Amino acid sequence: MSSGSPLNKRFLFLLGLLAAAFLLWYVINKEEHNWAESYALEEQNPYDLWLFKQLLEQAAGEKLHTINASLDTSLQEIETPAKSTYILAGGFAHFTPSEVEALTTFAENGGKIFILAANQSYDLLENIWGFSEESDSTAFEKIYDVLPFTNTINATGAEIIAINEGSDSARLHITKLNKNAEVQGEWSYFEPLYINDSALKISSLGLLADSLVNYVMLPRGKGWFYLHTCPMGFSNYYLRQEAGLKYAQSCLSFIDIEDNIYWDTYSMNDKYDAENIGGSGDGEQANLPEDGPLSFVLSQRELRMAWYVLVVGSILFLLAGMKRKQRAIPLVLPRENSSLGFARTLSDLYIVGRNHSKISKLQWKMFKNMALRNYGIRVEFANDTERNEIVSRLAIRSGIKETAVEAIFSTYLKIMVSERVDNRLLVEFNGHLQHFYKHAK
């Protein structure tokens, strides 16, 4: 079949038509944001953890490591647990019994373990609360099988509080949204009966709805467990708010930034253990669930449509490309400047807030540093006389008209007295600054 035959052209036309139909459907049905609580590390949707990971990378630098293999071996390879911190953040925390033992050993050797998950690992909680032989075993046996370690309340939103001794508590109101509309959701907390076990020496570090404990600290050997049941407070949507950033800083203030930090991406995925689900643990195949990855793909409307398009498109491509072709020359892409993408993303977060007071003050600070560095003029004034003197000196040394320099100062004074800096005032201020930078000597 030659490349120019009518049959080949017909297949290519059908393939293009199918792709165009799918693209049109995707554009019509695509949402601006995905409001699912996916807690993905590489996505920038409202309830993902991309910004949390970026901020932690900036703070820890090369001391931040990623765990992408089983904890059985990953934690054993850490040579200095006493100077190390383990972090897991997401909707679920999945640990096999052997991984639970690895976590407890890591803590006993001095490590800190932070788990931010709405659904905590039952095996881990069972290990922690069953660890103390001094606990009231009679009462424990009566409630253990009927009362879960964690419970939930149903509400559209709730206030979470980080309790810090010697300082003000950090408060954050979190709400479950879908397309900017509030929806009913479940909020997890620890059952008070387990929290009040005095033998375990549990400290309550955070509250949900003023009275329910959602953040606890438990000692284990030389180390500590920090368990938090509301990871939504650390998502992109709330970390771009000042209250959300303050809350996260308060909750994570127990992390020593000089420690090596190990971020676990492996345990966010569900794992099956032969001893837990029907296998013998010695090579016998476990009774794994019958549903596979394709079952999930077909259960989601968007993924199902994409799968059908992929299958049909692949068949058409094979039929249209039966003729032997020269091997394609690989495309070598230039290295991407990721710092520009990061700066663009942070700029977008500023724009979403629609209050440009912070960015305006940052521009003013940069202008002051430039004046001191280039012209030896310290831009600090307490009254109009001092301000006029600085304007005059800066105009003489930079070669810019005094009226243009005065425009920068007067516009900044407007910003200082404004409760909210809108787009117009930001653009005006930036225009004066750019004029100065472009024409100054």
Going by the DSSP 8-state scheme, the letter that residue 334 receives in this structure is P
Q: Give the model's pLDDT for residue 292.
A: 62
Q: Tokens in use for 171?
A: 């408060």
Q: Give the model's pLDDT for residue 42.
A: 85
Q: Give the model's pLDDT for residue 409.
A: 92
Q: Give the model's pLDDT for residue 357.
A: 82
Could you give phi then psi for residue 3, rounded to 5 degrees? -65, -25
Q: What is the pLDDT of residues 242-300, one digit of tens each?
A: 999 999 989 988 888 889 999 998 887 655 444 443 333 333 333 444 456 677 777 66
Nearest alpha carbon to residue 314 among 60, 11, 8, 32: 11
Q: Give the model's pLDDT for residue 289.
A: 46
Q: Residues in the chain with pLDDT < 50?
A: 1-3, 131-145, 272-290
3-class SS at 79? coil
Q: Give the model's pLDDT for residue 392.
A: 92
- The amino acid present at 426, given as its one-letter code, is L
Going by the DSSP 8-state scheme, the letter that residue 216 receives in this structure is E
Q: Give the model's pLDDT for residue 135.
A: 46
d(CA 428, CA 415): 11
- The amino acid present at 344, given as its one-letter code, is R
Nearest alpha carbon to residue 87 among 264, 329, 298, 238: 264
Contact indicator for 49, 40 with CB cutoff of 8 Å: yes
d(CA 105, CA 124): 12
d(CA 391, CA 103): 62
Contact indicator for 185, 209 with CB cutoff of 8 Å: no
Q: Tokens in use for 160?
A: 């979470």
Q: DSSP characters for 373-415?
A: HHH------SSHHHHHHHHHHHHHHHT--HHHHHHHHHHHHHH
Going by the DSSP 8-state scheme, the letter that residue 356 receives in this structure is -
**Domain locations in the chain as residue ranges:** 1-30+292-324, 50-268, 355-439
- The amino acid present at 151, given as its one-letter code, is N
